[in-house]
Structure 1
Amino acid sequence: MKIPSLISVLALAVASGSQAAPYTEPLGPSQSDFGGAGLLQVPSGRMSKEGEFNVNFRNNDQYRFYSVSVQAFPWLEATIRYTDVRTQKYSPYEDFSGDQTYKDKGIDLKLRLWEEGYWLPETSIGVRDFGGTGLFDSEFIAASKAWGPLDFTLGLGWGYLGNSGNVKNPFCEVKDSYCYRDNTHNRAGSFNGADMFHGPASLFGGVEYQTPWQPLRLKVEYEGNDYKGDFAGQLKQDSKVNVGAIYRITDWADVNISYERGNTLMAGFSLRTNFNTLHQRHIDSPPQKYNPQPQDAVLNHQVVASQLTELRNNAGYEDPHIQIKDKTLYVTGEQNRYRYSGDAVDRANRIIANRLPDGIDTINVTETKLNLPLVSTVTDVDSLKSDLQGYPLGKEKQLNQYREEPTDVKGARQGYYIEKDRLNFGIAPVLNQSIGGPENFYMYQVGVQGSADFWMTEHFLASASLFLNLYNNYDEFKYKGPPGDSTLPRVRTHIREYVDNSDVYLNNLQLTYIDQIADGWYGQVYGGYLEQMFGGVGGEVLYRPLDSSWAIGVDANYVKQRDWNDPMQFVDYTAETGHVTGYWQPRFMDDVLVRVSVGQYLAKDKGATVDVAKRFDSGVIVGAFATKTNVSADEYGEGDFTKGFYISVPLDLMTVRPTRSRAQINWIPLTRDGGQMLGRKYLLYGLTDSRSPYY
């Protein structure tokens, strides 16, 4: 069959399939060529389910589109995209970028204005490629309405989506300047808003058809682009109608094929999951069944020994301690297994309640981290017994339990504990990466890191980590700082020298004193080789009220740059760096953390970092950050300022047993020197997570 006849075949399928009954329920919005819910080249007004995450690839003769899209909220979709322009070189200087083709990075955002109703279509407004060189920068308003197996879309686009100018820009009626669009001032990595909704405008639209055979969907669209100004060259457009098909191989994978511009075949795939519904079945012992066998008022050594073992093995408390004061039994330990503190407290209460001494009317379970007391959960014994025994139908009561500032038990009548290991070892794989550089699109370092911690006293900790390099391609990194008269110190761009000069590297060797100062107040001081590139001394103080949506911290550091030729030595460069950081979990936005840091960075530039993170039901955290300092765009170099994205994944989604450990994947477009923070080993806010109202 000739490719042009594909249009006729798809049209016939739509016509005949629409008569089939009953119609198959649609699978939900599919991904466009650019990433994000849409048809082919054009977006739709649709939003995916909250938490949906897509990895997309599309390929044709001129472009390869690589994108990831996440539905952060029911009303907000975000997409990150890299476009490989196959017809252009990254730069004319082959000794710098070799034969690498041009890579363009873009960020898209789409905001839903209102949901679909009986008469109203689901309507969204969005911006495509709003940061950077503007190769595909566009703005749009799109509306989608379903009718049985057909989902219709109609939209108005500006920029790349509106190049053909098939309608007059409505904003021209407001101001003449809206009739013109000028992208010549765009810089790679910068955010540009001056030309939004300017220039020609075009109507676009189409329909997605869910065939009676559920895995197959068909698409037809009319686009508003004319391809005359493409960076890849003026592309021939024989038709503004594009057609395509999407086939769902499995719940997590789609394959796509389309015929676009009347002369071009596009093909690709989408991999998907949902961060809200992602889960793992664990091989884990169930909580103890309630089988009360009361003790005498005095703790029995053999019984308590058994309880301590169960607190560690069944409830996940390392180094547990049991003691009594007055009419309260106290349990203390470090929770390293269950993601949510309440799960561990429930298990601990069952263990204690089954062999509870006479005369005890409350159980107090205190969670610690690195010997920092974090929170106590107090449970009324009578209420707990009734809850464990079960209530008659219709007479259920709420468990009498509350959280309070951690209890410092002094003068307890007696106590037993499993002694804390003073020396701990660990080993873990490490992936360091940077994406989108001119020398090589993907730079990486793969290695193994061994770590050791030794408790010298209750609050004095010695720690070290040794990194073994297995493989990397940072030898291709050639950046030596921005051109011109820039005086910005090279605090991060010596990465090639640090990576290449030794396969075994002492990343960290430091002493830390860490303690609770008062209720809600925590502090630490530290000194040594603090990270790969810097050593020195510093300290941090954090105020975090229990179950509060906010916290504030201050860190201050005096550091010296480590010698990349001999990392046990230092070079002449020194810096004072530190920040005041505010943390806020808005009550009106579930599981969102906003973090703002203001201060001085390693290159002695001054500014602020804004970090916004969303935690989904599975525990996966998706975040983005941006740092803007008093360093000019010219001094900073390509990218204009530091920014990036990250995904933090709880390892219990991949392990057979529960754990609180996490792995983080970072996406930082370029390695540059401005806006760089010190990589501190311990961050008090992370250590005190259990004080959050969401834990």
Structure 2
Amino acid sequence: MPFNRGYVFLSLAGLALTFPGHANETQSFSAQGLADRPTLNSYGLPGLIDMPTANVLPDGELGLAVSSSAVGNRGTLSFQVLPNVTATFRYAGIDLTRAGMRDLYFDRSFDVHWQALDEDTFGWSPAVAIGIRDIAGTGLYGGEYIVATRHFGARDRVAVTAGLGWGRLGERDGFSNPLGAIDDRFDTRPGRSVGTGGTVNFDQFFRGDAAVFGGIEWQATDRLRLQLEYSSDTYSIEAADGLIDASSPFNFGATYQITDGIRGGAYVLGGDTIGVSLSMTLNPTRPPVPPSSGDAAPRPVAVRAPQAMPYDTDWVSQPGGAEVLRDNFALLFEDQGLHLENLTMDARRATIRVRNTQFNHSSQALGRVLRAMSAALPPSVEVFEVIFVVEGLDTTRVRVARTDLEMLEFDPGGAELAMAVAEVEDARAMADPVGLEVTTPSSRFTWGIGPYLEASVFDPDNPILVNAGVEAQAEYRFGSGFVAEGAVRAALGGNLDDSQIVNAAVILPDPPPVVRSNAALYRQQSDFYVERLTLAHFGRPAENLYSRVSFGYLERMYAGVSGELLWQPAHSRLGLGIEVNHVWARDFDGGFGLRDYNVTSGHVSAYYRLTEDFDVQIDAGRYLAGDWGATLSIDRTFNNGWRVGAYATFTDVPFESFGEGSFDKGIEIEIPLAWFLGTSNRRTSDVLIQPVLRDGGARVQVEGRLHDLVIDYTRPRLEDTEAMIWR
């Protein structure tokens, strides 16, 4: 719904703008040695110049590397998925000759880099890594390697690397594959079957001739690093096109640390080709400013005087008492983004319903509410219950004994103990107290106007297309769980209109209906349009069940009705959902007209919290083009709200009918605004990196999907951020 999130779709280059230096780090440059912060090579992997090393980035780190030389321009997004696993997505442009003319060829590729052994695993042993480059794509950069790296000297200022490469990394002075001793199938590397791209050629991995590579890196000063490598890549494709000679196997390079998170470099390939590079790193676990440092300090728990026991209960019968308490809460919640919806109490128990519009950590909101209850409620109230309300929905009920609250605030392990003694259950599992009740009128209408940025990347003719404009949003809540919401946009400038329209019926055999690949027509027909306009109802049909029905103009391209039911117990890591949509394609001009295409789609979904860091989602059902299949999403979710994930969708649309890319896939990054500001804020920016937009596996976009609304207030999520309960 409006103003809880800011959806911004950025290109890889645009993502760099969000990468500040780590202003709060106390490390000096000298402390960020070769082992602590490895260099990103021209392919965006931990490495020297072109060749990889066995290093890995700090856990959870994101890296953006761009390099430019005569052999091509590359932009690579890297993510340290696990402490020993690095994954990358690369987009490259190469000036290859076609029919005597220069033609800029664009290539997408994915890599995976696994550090199998840490340094010093066996005494004085090196780190060892195994990697696959261009794991799913055209194979232009395809190659595999096993590499070892060892650091030497004071503060590990020298790193020596040696490795064995295959494929593109096995070209220079190649020799028979040593893995052939295990199985003679390793002796020959079959030709790559590219097809429509995007598929994995397992029969090529570690096959064919092998070659050695290596190098040395020296931390000359706290900011300057020098690299020398022996490359096993002869650049055979680029050399055949006259882009490089590559007669020398030696490459030279230097990088300079500009800020804590930004490093620039220059290098020489093959003795005759000069290149430049720029890399930026960001770690979600290291915000530029301390979290919540800009928040107003919370008031302490108000501890009751023990000598006053037994506590007086006559206040229950005093006229106007509930209204006084309501006013007290209004003062305590002022400027905290907490809104009292309802307060019900008797002499011993109080239940408060509250909306959290500010704190991105649900446990922090819980701690603020509990302390306000200790200050506002009479001493006889021993049991505090907090129900968080989202879009009119009661989510979970958190029950805490007031005595425990008074004892634990300053206990060294108080945050963990507070969650251990708290009871968390579905809000419908227990009736509210019977006694005093008061409801606070809340603002039903909210609105706002602000800029938006929309981008399309990876178009073969125009790799980066961007439009900027102004968006106005409004929302009105009424009744019990009803929300009317809408947004209109006015594009002010950009080149998104230049996107080419691909006629799938001409270039693909038996293509699916056109449901997304005509997106450019919506941008070209109008600069002012209704982005969405809906009426939705959110409900609680039974314990552990949530419901949503949305009707209207659901998104820019589709209008219709969407219904959803979610089963999400307050204690469970597992959630199950079902969604059914019937939609009509909207007119290209962004008005209220509809076109003649309509479809019923829907999914059954399973959501599971694998660990504190990882979430898995599986959606199976029917998609917008009428195709049947499933989507697998895996996200790494950080406690501060960052989320980095990937998804892949496979349906009954054959790869050749889907077109370039073979199947739908992408990378999603959700960035909390609070991470930059140091002030609690529930707004986020979303980055979607979708290599190819096609019609197979497409889903309708709907605001207010239930799982995202309620999951933050389940016990697993509250426990994940329990350290924030006293902040």
Residue 44 of structure 1, aligned match among 44, 53, 58: 53
What is the DSSP-based 3-state SS (H/G/I as helix, E as strand, rest coil) of the residue aligned with 1:194? helix
Tell me if structure 1 keeps the 8 A contact 2:94–2:105.
yes
Residues 225-249 of structure 1: CA deviation (Å, up to 9, x unaligned) = 2222348726322311212111112
Match of 1:159 in 2: 167
Summarize the Cα distance change of 1:613–1:432 in structure 2 as closer, same or farther, 3 Å threshold.
Answer: same
Q: Quote how far apart the aligned CAs of 1:328 are.
A: 0.6
1:340 to 347, 361, 366: 361
3-state SS of paired residue (1:681) = coil
| Aligned residue pair count | 663
Tell me the residue number matched to 1:368. 389
C-alpha distance after superposition, 1:473-530 (max 9, x if no partner) = 2332223333154342111122122112222211212221211122211111222111
Contact persistence 1:275–1:616 (CA under 8 A): yes
Residues 383 and 509 (structure 1 numbering): CA distance in 2 closer, same or farther, change over 3 Å? same
When structure 1 is superposed on structure 2, of 597-606 and 501-510 the one drifting more is 501-510
Q: Is the 8 A contact 2:574 2:606 kept in 1?
A: yes
SS at match of 2:147: strand
- Gap change, CA 1:656 and 1:322, over 3 Å in 2: same
CA contact (8 A) 1:611 1:626 kept: yes
| Residues 438, 207 of structure 1: alpha-carbon distance in 2 compared, 3 angstrom cutoff | same
Do 1:275 and 1:617's aligned partners in 2 also have CA atoms closer than 8 Å? no
> What is the deviation of 1:622?
0.8
Q: Residue 530 of structure 1 aligns to which amino acid in structure 2?
A: L
Contact 1:88 1:102 in 2 (8 A): no
Q: 1:534 aligns with which of 523, 541, 558?
A: 558
Instruction: Give 2:89's aligned amino acid.
Output: I
- Distance, in Å, in 1 between the alignment partners of 2:173 and 2:581 is 56
Which whole-Å CA distance do the structure 1 matches of 2:70 and 2:322 have between them? Answer: 76
- CA-CA distance at 1:38 after TM superposition: 0.8
Query: Structure 1 residues 456, 196: CA separation in 2 closer, same or farther (over 3 Å shift)?
Result: same
In 1, distance between residues paired with 2:240 and 2:530? 46
For the 8 Å contact 2:60–2:80, the answer to whether it is kept is yes
* Residue identity matched to 1:360: V
Alignment partner of 2:623 out of 601, 626, 649: 601
Aligned-partner residue type, residue 694 of structure 1: R
Q: Please state how far the C-alpha of 1:688 moved relative to its aligned partner.
A: 0.8
Contact 1:527 1:536 in 2 (8 A): yes
Q: How far, CA to CA, are the matches of 1:662 and 1:28 in structure 2?
A: 28
Amino acid at match of 2:131: G
2:515: which partner in 1?
491
Structure 2 residue aligned with 1:9: none
Confirm whether residue 285 of structure 1 aligns to residue 306 of structure 2. no
| Cα offset, 1:472, TM superposition | 3.5
Match of 2:176 among 162, 168, 171: 168
Q: Which residue, out of 345, 351, 356, partners 1:330? A: 351
| Contact 1:293/1:355 (8 A) holds in 2 | no
- Contact residue 190 and residue 203 of structure 2 kept, 8 A: no
> 2-side partners of 1:659 and 1:359: how far apart?
35
Q: 2:451 aligns with which of 429, 432, 457?
A: 429
Asked whether 1:55 is paired with 2:64, we answer yes
Assess if the C-alpha contact under 8 Å between 1:334 and 1:367 holds in 2: yes
Equivalent residue runs for 1:119-138 within 5 Å: 119-138=124-143
Q: Give the direction of change, closer, same or farther, for the CA distance of 1:452–1:346 in structure 2 (3 Å limit).
A: same
Cα offset for 1:575? 0.7
Instruction: For 1:74, give the aligned amino acid.
Output: P
Percent same amino acid at aligned positions?
A: 27
Partner of 1:144: 149
Alpha-carbon contact 2:53-2:148 (below 8 Å) kept: yes
Is the Cα–Cα contact under 8 Å of residues 329 and 376 in structure 2 kept in the other structure? no
Q: Is the CA contact (8 Å cut-off) linking 1:222 and 1:242 kept in structure 2?
A: yes
Q: Say if 1:653 and 1:394 are closer, same or farther in 2 by CA, change over 3 A.
A: closer
> 2:721 maps to which residue?
none
Gap change, CA 1:279 and 1:585, over 3 Å in 2: farther
CA contact (8 A) 2:174 2:211 kept: yes
Q: For residue 550 of structure 1, what is the amino acid of its counterpart?
A: L
Alignment partner for residue 474 of structure 1, among 496, 511, 528?
A: 496
Pick aligned residue for 1:105 from 87, 108, 117: 108
1:262 alignment counterpart: 271
Q: 1:68 to 1:395 in 2, by over 3 A?
A: closer
Aligned twin of 1:405: 426
- State the match for 2:41 in structure 1: 32
Q: CA deviation at 1:591?
A: 1.3
Aligned partner letter, 1:536: G
SS of equivalent to 1:659: coil
Separation of aligned partners in 2, 1:396 and 1:500: 54
Please tell me the root mean square deviation across aligned C-alpha atoms, in Å: 2.6
- Which one of 614, 618, 632 corresponds to residue 592 of structure 1? 614
Asked if 1:448 is matched to 2:459, the reply is no
What one-letter code is carried by the residue in structure 2 that aligns with 1:345? L
- Where structure 1 has 5 or more consecutive residues not aligned to the other structure, the ranges are 1-21
- Residue 317 in structure 1 maps to residue 314 in structure 2: no
State the distance in 1 between where 2:434 and 2:100 align: 74
Cα 1:662/1:167, change in 2 over 3 Å: same
Partner of 1:386: 407
How far residue 364 of structure 1 moved from its aligned partner, in angstroms, is: 0.7
Matching residue of 2:672: 650
Where 2:460 maps in the other structure, the secondary structure is coil
In the TM superposition, residue 665 of structure 1 has moved relative to its aligned partner by 1.0
Q: Give how far 1:46 is off.
A: 0.8
Determine if contact 2:618/2:630 at 8 Å carries over to the other structure.
yes
- Kept in 2, the 8 Å contact 1:614–1:623? The answer is yes
Deviation at 1:50, TM superposition (A): 0.6
Q: Which deviates the most, 145-154 or 165-174?
A: 165-174
- 1:636 CA displacement: 1.3
Instruction: Kindly indicate whether structure 1 or structure 2 has the higher relative contact order, using CA contacts under 8 Å at least 6 residues apart.
Output: 2
8 Å contact kept, 2:302–2:375: yes
**CA–CA distance in structure 1, aligned partners of residues 148 and 231 of structure 2:** 15
- Cα separation, 2, equivalents of 1:355 and 1:533: 50
SS of 1:694's partner is helix
Shift of 1:609: 0.9
User: Can you list the C-alpha shifts for 1:162-216, whole angstroms capped at 9, x where unaligned?
Assistant: 11253321232344443232444214333332211112211111111122x2111
Q: 1:570 to 1:290 in 2, by over 3 A?
A: closer
Change (3 A) 1:276 1:394: closer
Alpha-carbon contact 1:624-1:644 (below 8 Å) kept? yes
Shift of 1:86: 2.6
